[in-house]
Structure 1
Amino acid sequence: MSAVARAIWFIESHFEHDLSLEEISDAAGLSRYHLSRVFGLVNGHSISGYIRGRRLSRAVPALVVGSSTILEVALAAGYGSHEAFTRAFRDQFGMTPDAVRRQGHARNLVLLEPIRMDPARLNDLEPPRFETLQPMLFAGLQEIYPYGGNAAIPSLWQKFNAHFGHIPGQKGNVAYGICTHIDGEAEKFRYMAAVEISDAGDLPPDFTTLKLPGQRYVVFSHRGHVSGIPLTMHRIFDTWWPTSGLEHGDTPDMFERYDERFDPYTGMGVTEIWLPIKE
């Protein structure tokens, strides 16, 4: 796993909070000096510029919608005053937050999207195991992403992790990343950061629920940084699945299972990839 990919994942997972270069470089496994140079050469942004651009870009929808005051948007973006936010926003986009609010859209702004992480080559797949699960009820935060747009998923986990551990009805300390297809949609998918729950009562207002049927799964282990999961998935479907004789189940497309072997702060550890199969 490349150091830059680790740094990007760490920033995307934590940029709504104060971040130091030392924390980022520790997560990347490089010195602060080396990471600063490599990050800029590879991505065309300084680390601080990337964090600033991501925070300001995330603030734009709140300005357009207009449900919060500009000061509230500024504070949520990590700025201590309306003035400081306005200066940074104008430097980033060439216009003020007030002007964006007045025009009511952001079509003329060039937002900074998450940098796509390109993990390095992975080891060969470990032999999978097979499991049968009973029906399960999940609750969590869900977003729709374009295929190939998984670079934004860490920010969803950043929001979800603020709830993890005190979600009403939560069963155990295991988190799930659940991918499901959208009927009639070939370019986008749903991704849900979730936990298993015993019932759907009294959940946070922005939570949604999903019930999966009882079925059989083939289970693979991904070891290393979480940003390498897409390559593991590619390895599964490119080399293992075509010769397996298995037929993929209907729902979900797959889910990731994160237990005590995974560290959500660093993104390192063991992630299980569960794929439903028809019997």
Structure 2
Amino acid sequence: MSIADTALWVIERNSSQELTLGSIAAACKVSRSHLANAFGTASGWPVMKYLRARRLSEAARRLAGGAPDILSVALEFGYGSHEAFTRAFRDQFGTTPEEVRNGGSLDRLDLVAPLRLRDGRARMPIPALRQLGKRRLVGLSAPCSYEATIGIPAQWQAFMSEHYEAIADKVQMMPIGICRAPDEDGGFEYMCAAEVRSTASPRKPLAYLEIEPRSYAVFEHAGHVSTIFDTYTAIWNEALPAAGLDAANGPVLEFHNDAFDPDTGLGGLTIWILLESDRNGSTT
């Protein structure tokens, strides 16, 4: 069973229990960042957003069926007060619990059913364990989410056409992509970056990021760059658990191969996953 499937089971099995990203990750025996990435790449949903949507959908079914006490329904599905439940319910469905109970119908509600995840289309990649030395990076950072990764190619276009040439003291190598660790709602920062030799603060909108020496699991993505999410899904849900590796709550790095062609999206890249504890590996 994949990490995402395990998380789905935990969510559905414990619908009346208090659940957090940390507690679901602990049940899956992975870090919070690992769970957020595994679930997000496999489903397109942030974990906690899916949890809230599922609980509110089941609460709506209970209300439409004529539940006599709205507060009891609220408490059953993890809300501590009538007010908090009503606020979340209105945000999700655009109506109130009272209106659904009085109307006895779910016709106008966009309910979220339990997910059924399909198997990833990528073959399970085999990691290499490597050490990465200190890196100084300057790049263009933007908020992203699992539902909005379609914006990343445009971000790269803006970075390369408007900012890359003006970055001072660059190390002449292919640019690097950085996915920051997701937050509780599944949002993360994505940075298109160039490695630099100095620590001088760049001009806005560019930002400076320093990567400390650490151990990484490194995976090859040889296909077209548009299919990278299939590789990520296989990494987070299958390859890391199969290799007995624990991902840390830290950034994921994407190093483009020297043969990578930004005009065609071909040439491949390597995905570097930060590990929880130091492991032996070759220094790069």
TM tier relative to shorter chain = 0.5 to 0.7
Call closer, same or farther: CA 1:169–1:273 in 2, change over 3 Å. same
Q: Which residue of 1 aligns with 2:47?
A: none
Matched residue type, 1:164:
Y
- Equivalent positions of 1:129-208 (< 5 A) are 129-162=128-161, 163-181=163-181, 183=183, 185-201=184-200, 203-208=202-207
Q: Which residue of 2 aligns with 1:233?
A: 232
Call closer, same or farther: CA 1:124–1:182 in 2, change over 3 Å. closer
* Aligned CA-pair RMSD: 2.1
Matched residue type, 1:262:
F
The CA deviation at 1:225 is 1.0
RCO greater where, 1 or 2, for CA within 8 Å and sep 6 or more? 2
Q: Which residue of 2 aligns with 1:269?
A: 267
Q: Which residue of 2 aligns with 1:246?
A: 245
Query: Does the CA-based 8 Å contact 2:202-2:208 persist in structure 1?
Result: no
The CA deviation at 1:126 is 4.2
The CA deviation at 1:224 is 1.8
Between the aligned partners of 2:165 and 2:220, the Cα distance in structure 1 is: 24
Between the aligned partners of 2:269 and 2:192, the Cα distance in structure 1 is: 14
Question: Structure 1: any 5+ residue segments left out of the alignment?
Answer: 1-120
Between the aligned partners of 1:125 and 1:172, the Cα distance in structure 2 is: 32
- Equivalent positions of 1:57-76 (< 5 A) are none
Q: Which residue of 1 aligns with 2:215?
A: 216
Call closer, same or farther: CA 1:164–1:173 in 2, change over 3 Å. farther
Query: Does the CA-based 8 Å contact 1:171-1:196 persist in structure 2?
Result: yes
SS at match of 2:270: strand
Between the aligned partners of 1:147 and 1:122, the Cα distance in structure 2 is: 18
Call closer, same or farther: CA 1:138–1:149 in 2, change over 3 Å. same
Between the aligned partners of 1:241 and 1:182, the Cα distance in structure 2 is: 18
Query: Does the CA-based 8 Å contact 1:135-1:211 persist in structure 2?
Result: yes
SS at match of 1:224: coil
Query: Does the CA-based 8 Å contact 2:201-2:207 persist in structure 1?
Result: no
Deviation above 6 Å: which 4+ runs of structure 1? none
Normalised to the residue count of structure 1, the TM-score between the two structures is 0.52
Query: Does the CA-based 8 Å contact 2:260-2:267 persist in structure 1?
Result: yes
**Which one of 254, 257, 261 corresponds to residue 256 of structure 1?**
254
Matched residue type, 2:171:
K
Call closer, same or farther: CA 1:182–1:234 in 2, change over 3 Å. closer
Matched residue type, 1:250:
N
- Equivalent positions of 1:120-135 (< 5 A) are 122-135=121-134
Give CA-to-partner distance per residue, 1:152-192, whole Å, 9 cap, x none.
00010001112335521211222111011255x32211000
Normalised to the residue count of structure 2, the TM-score between the two structures is 0.52
Give the share of equivalent positions with the same residue, in percent. Answer: 30
Query: Does the CA-based 8 Å contact 1:170-1:196 persist in structure 2?
Result: yes
Question: Structure 2: any 5+ residue segments left out of the alignment?
Answer: 1-119, 279-284
Give CA-to-partner distance per residue, 1:115-171, whole Å, 9 cap, x none.
xxxxxx755244321210122111100000122310000010001112335521211
Aligned residues: 158
